Amino acid sequence: MRLPSAILVLILATSAASAQSIVGRASVIDGDTLDIRGERVRILDIDAPESGQFCFKKTETLDVGAWRCGQQAALALSDWIGQQTVTCEITKKEANELYKHWLARCAIAGQDVAEWLAANGWAVPYRDCKCETTRDAARRARAAQLGIWTSAFTLPWVWRELH
């Protein structure tokens, strides 16, 4: 009788962990990572330029040069969040051994953070996400030449591989 009870407790604990939320004021670590009450949270479905990443802007007649698009993505997210409460629904711990962040869907006053980042041109949909709303938002931002879409840039996951 003890073994089935232990299995039931394990199942209930696993279910509770998968439904975990982290709620509070957030500090922006970079364009797709937040710190909420000491917990690092990576926003699902998007990938933003890294803090040290540059984008390269050109016009038809002028090479405007490099700009810190990763830093600007983080600043834009920080400005948008301000003092608002962020609610993140945790899905799992990130598999990457370097980071060990929580992976989560986050929202502010009902607005999905990943969708906001994509819609404002500060992140691209993650390469294998099944996130049509976020993909649509990124397509609109690209067409409107918002954020990183004003420039040439390396996709964040490619940039990380190179650096």
Residue 5 lies in a domain: no
Angstrom distances, CA of residue 48 to CA of 23, 60, 62, 153: 22, 26, 26, 11
Residue 1 lies in a domain: no
pLDDT on residue 96: 60
pLDDT tens by residue, 13-70: 443 444 699 999 999 999 999 999 999 999 999 999 999 999 998 666 666 789 999 9
| Single-letter code of the amino acid located at 162 | L
pLDDT on residue 99: 61
Residue 47 lies in a domain: yes
Asked if 106 and 35 touch (Cβ cutoff 8 Å), the reply is: no
Asked if 122 and 101 touch (Cβ cutoff 8 Å), the reply is: no
Task: Give the domain extent around 83.
Answer: 18-155
Closest by Cα among 8, 10, 17 to 92: 17
Residue 83 lies in a domain: yes
Report which of residues 127 and 98 the model is more confident about.
127
pLDDT on residue 94: 64
Residue 54 lies in a domain: yes
Number of folded domains in the chain? 1
What's the CATH number where 41 sits?
A: 2.40.50.90
Residue 82 lies in a domain: yes
Percent share of the chain, pLDDT over 70: 80
pLDDT tens by residue, 133-146: 999 999 999 999 99
pLDDT on residue 101: 80
Three-state SS for 91? strand
Residue 42 lies in a domain: yes
Residue 8 lies in a domain: no
Question: Mean pLDDT over residues 118-135, rounded?
Answer: 94
